[in-house]
């Protein structure tokens, strides 16, 4: 059935002569002349506007910030990779943090704990977008997809030198097409939310109820 | 004149609570969209660019679909083609049978609504659970979406609170939106945990990289496409774009036009199922490409613009007719201006042609359309196709089916009179002279308006009096 359908659909489409030639005007766009300070300001403003927390830190202080966030939120455990550069640093000082959990097996082996027993997850990011207040997250073998989705709190570290002005600039500068797209790439702009009931914003619908960004 | 559409409109106009819900929501949406575009020049530039992106994709549609299929297949995503809604449902059924699945959890998908998928699968004993909060609410109430972006926009919090209390009597009654939302979170989390198959729509398909893009706020779309071991995406064949660089401008104008957000919480780009070594994500990803009349729309250079639509709903939010009659009055999957041009083309002018009449042609829809679809022109074209005699000259389904002898005769007489100066002058002079005897009851028009009155003298007489030279 599918092959016949494919042939029929494509044949019908190909029967029609190309009705327009509008490559013109398709490419290009706005470019902003924002310096680092302006990008950080805009990013922070946008993130806070959608009820995300943004903490500014340095390479020396970011572990203290993570520790403080864990204390403030009363977290019992934290899911963090022991394989990434950042994760290794947290694991190296495990006694400062709540119980550290690792995503070291396929989800099927520990789905129940992931869905009902993990308080928070810490991940790195692939970059950020200042214009919209957005994190670029590309899940990997070490930091799988569900880490930024299932636990009620998501802590993410963003390096300021990876903070781009626009989405288009990030795609271009990081060479997404040339590098090949990962299984899943995400733009995340705040904690999960909905306005489906009477246009009233409610946070924490299905994904994380809280998003904490640590800018370094 | 009475029809199912008119009867439904009449019934819905008599529901003040529903009308108030729509008015409140639409006012807010219009203001929020406006706030997102403070720079009018930039807005127009972005509209032109977005139109060009969509028009470019359509101009190369068959080639881009082949490139898309090749790249998706290379990435490990299985591509299926369906000419009709029924074929699409059968493909989904076959995938579910292959995985021995008895239930699916759904992210939001208007194409699955178009396919009537829930009814189809439920008749086979397969549970289909909607996980978008708005869709979840209307599914509980046995309703269909009244808006393509905000499916439960016709309900207020008290109605939703009562509905939740009726369906989940063990949970205490509340009208608090946060508490209602958390109730839904708890109920649906168990479903995400257990569901074997997740289903979603698609906002953009990128031919260049073989990527499926989904726009959402709640995370239910991510849950449905990530937690179950199988992900099925269903979408129309027109949703393809040529390259990844086409996506940022479209995403930007889509979210700003739809809900007045600079961006949604999640923008999900899926390019492959779980790869060896990866610890989560679906083991299999399927894409069902649905035609369902789209290739026929594609064959007409004027109507083709319909397929540029990126489903933002801005035309709906700004339509004075929609805000008064509400989404359910249309009796179709897609309501409002976009529904009024899309549905008659898909189902036929004999089935939904009346929707093309349900417009004042005020043009608000085309003023806000991010991809500049000339909706009023297409409405006019469909009105003409509905009554045209030379039906061999158009591919529109149901052309000529709305033609009536009396209307045709009236216009033929008018055309004859208007092209015979002596008759026309005599007629207009007589009508002006005896204007007092003209009827004041003009059917439906005069039930809510006064009948138009003729002037004291004809236009020709006035022009002559003023000394206007006809040359």
CB-CB neighbors (< 8 A) of A187 in chain B: 263, 266-267
pLDDT value of position B206 = 98
Closest Cα in chain A, distance from residue B171 (Å):
18
Report the mean per-residue pLDDT for chain B: 95
Residue numbers in B near A208 (CB within 8 A): 219
Question: What value does the mean pLDDT take over residues A135-153?
Answer: 98
Q: Which of B56, B82, B90 sits opposite A23 (nearest CB)?
A: B56
Whether the predicted pLDDT of A17 surpasses 80: no
pLDDT tens string B68-77? 999 999 999 9
pLDDT band at residue B434 using 50, 70 and 90 as cut-offs? confident
What pLDDT is recorded for position B453? 84
The C-alpha of A100 sits at a distance from chain B's nearest C-alpha, in angstroms, of 18
- Decide if B330 contacts B338 (C-beta within 8 A): no
Residue A49 has pLDDT above 80, yes or no: yes
Supply the pTM of this predicted model. 0.95
ipTM: 0.97
- pLDDT at residue A173, rounded to an integer: 97
Q: Whose CA is closest to A154, among A186, A124, A126, A195?
A: A124
* pLDDT score of B447 more than 90: no
State whether B208 and A177 contact (CB < 8 Å): yes
Subunit contact B49:A29, Cβ cutoff 8 A:
yes
Q: Is residue A191 over pLDDT 70?
A: yes
Q: Which residues contact A73 (CB under 8 A, 6 or more apart)?
A: A119, A120, A153, A210
Which of A20-34, B6-20, B101-115, B441-455 has the lowest average pLDDT?
A: A20-34
Q: Residues with Cβ < 8 Å from A39, sequence gap 6 or more?
A: A130, A160, A163, A164, A165
**Residue A192 backbone phi and psi in degrees, to 5:** -50, 140
pLDDT tens digits along B194-241: 999 999 999 999 999 999 999 999 999 999 999 999 999 999 999 999
Name chain B contacts of A19, Cβ cutoff 8 Å. 58-59, 301, 304
Average pLDDT estimate for B384-388: 96
In this prediction, residue A66 carries a pLDDT of 98
Query: Would the CB atoms of A112 and B193 count as touching at under 8 Å?
Result: yes
Nearest to B142 by CA among B132, B158, B130, B157: B130
Q: With beta carbons under 8 A apart, name residues in chain A contacting B56.
A: 20, 22-23, 26
In which element (H, E) is residue B123 found?
none
**What integer pLDDT is reported at residue B469 of this predicted model?**
75
Percent of chain B with pLDDT over 90: 89
pLDDT surpassing 70 at residue A22: no
**Alpha-carbon distance A194 to B181, whole Å?**
8
């Amino acid at each position: 059935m599918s092959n016949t359908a494919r042939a029929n659909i494509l044949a019908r489409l190909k029967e029609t002569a190309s009705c327009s030639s509008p490559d013109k005007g398709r490419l290009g766009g706005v470019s902003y002349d924002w310096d680092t300070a302006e990008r950080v300001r805009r990013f922070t403003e946008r993130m806070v506007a959608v009820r995300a927390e943004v903490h500014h830190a340095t390479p020396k202080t970011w572990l203290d910030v993570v520790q403080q966030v864990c204390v403030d939120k009363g977290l019992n455990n934290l899911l963090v990779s022991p394989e990434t550069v950042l994760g290794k640093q947290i694991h190296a000082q495990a006694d400062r943090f709540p119980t550290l959990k690792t995503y070291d097996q396929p989800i099927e082996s520990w789905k129940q704990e992931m869905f009902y027993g993990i308080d928070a997850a810490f991940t790195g990011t692939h970059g950020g977008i200042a214009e919209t207040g957005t994190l670029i997250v590309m899940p990997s073998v070490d930091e799988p997809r569900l880490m930024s989705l299932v636990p009620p709190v998501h802590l993410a570290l963003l390096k300021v030198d990876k903070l781009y002005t626009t989405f288009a600039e990030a795609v271009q500068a990081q060479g997404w097409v040339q590098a090949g797209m990962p299984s899943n790439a995400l733009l995340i702009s705040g904690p999960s939310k909905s306005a489906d009931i009477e246009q009233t914003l409610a946070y924490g619908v299905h994904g994380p109820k809280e998003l904490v960004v640590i800018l370094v | 004149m009475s029809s199912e559409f008119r009867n439904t409109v009449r019934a819905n106009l008599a529901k003040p609570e529903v009308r108030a819900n729509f008015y409140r929501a639409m006012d807010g949406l219009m203001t929020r969209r406006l706030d997102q575009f403070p720079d009018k020049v930039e807005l127009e530039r972005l509209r032109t660019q977005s139109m060009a992106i969509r028009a470019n994709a359509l101009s190369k549609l068959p080639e881009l679909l082949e490139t898309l299929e090749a790249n998706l297949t290379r990435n490990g995503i299985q591509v299926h083609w369906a000419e009709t809604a029924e074929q699409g449902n059968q493909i989904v059924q076959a995938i579910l049978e292959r995985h021995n699945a008895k239930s699916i959890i759904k992210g939001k998908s208007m194409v699955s609504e178009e396919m009537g998928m829930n009814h189809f699968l439920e008749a086979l004993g397969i549970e289909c659970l909607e996980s978008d909060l708005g869709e979840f609410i209307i599914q509980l109430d046995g309703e269909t979406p009244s808006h393509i972006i905000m499916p439960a926009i016709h309900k207020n919090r008290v109605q939703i609170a009562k509905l939740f209390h009726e369906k989940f009597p063990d949970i205490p009654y509340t009208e608090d939106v946060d508490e209602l939302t958390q109730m839904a979170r708890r109920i649906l989390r168990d479903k995400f945990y257990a569901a074997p198959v997740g289903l979603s729509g698609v906002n953009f398909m990128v031919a260049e990289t073989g990527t499926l893009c989904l726009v959402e706020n709640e995370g239910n779309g991510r849950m449905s496409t990530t937690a179950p071991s199988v992900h099925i995406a269903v979408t129309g064949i027109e949703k393809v774009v040529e390259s990844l660089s086409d996506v940022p401008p479209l995403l930007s104008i889509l979210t700003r036009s739809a809900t007045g957000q600079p961006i949604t919480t999640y923008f999900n780009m899926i390019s492959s199922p779980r790869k060896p070594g990866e610890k989560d994500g679906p083991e299999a990803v399927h894409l069902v490409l649905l035609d369902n009349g789209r290739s026929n729309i594609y064959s007409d250079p004027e109507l083709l613009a319909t397929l540029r639509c990126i489903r933002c709903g801005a035309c709906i939010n700004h339509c004075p007719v929609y805000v008064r009659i509400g989404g359910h009055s249309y009796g179709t999957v897609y309501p409002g201006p976009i529904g009024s041009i899309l549905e008659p083309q898909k189902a036929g002018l004999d089935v939904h042609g009346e929707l093309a009449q349900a417009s004042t042609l005020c043009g608000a829809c085309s003023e806000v359309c991010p991809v500049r679809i000339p909706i009023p022109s297409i409405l006019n074209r469909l009105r003409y196709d509905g009554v045209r005699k030379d039906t061999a000259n158009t591919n529109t389904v149901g052309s000529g089916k709305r033609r009536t002898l009396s209307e045709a005769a009236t216009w033929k007489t008018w055309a004859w009179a208007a092209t015979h100066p002596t008759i026309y002058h005599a007629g207009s002079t007589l009508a002006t002279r005896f204007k007092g005897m003209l009827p004041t009851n003009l059917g439906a028009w005069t039930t809510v308006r006064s009948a138009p009155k003729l002037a004291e003298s004809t236009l020709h007489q006035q022009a002559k009096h003023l000394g206007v030279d006809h040359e």
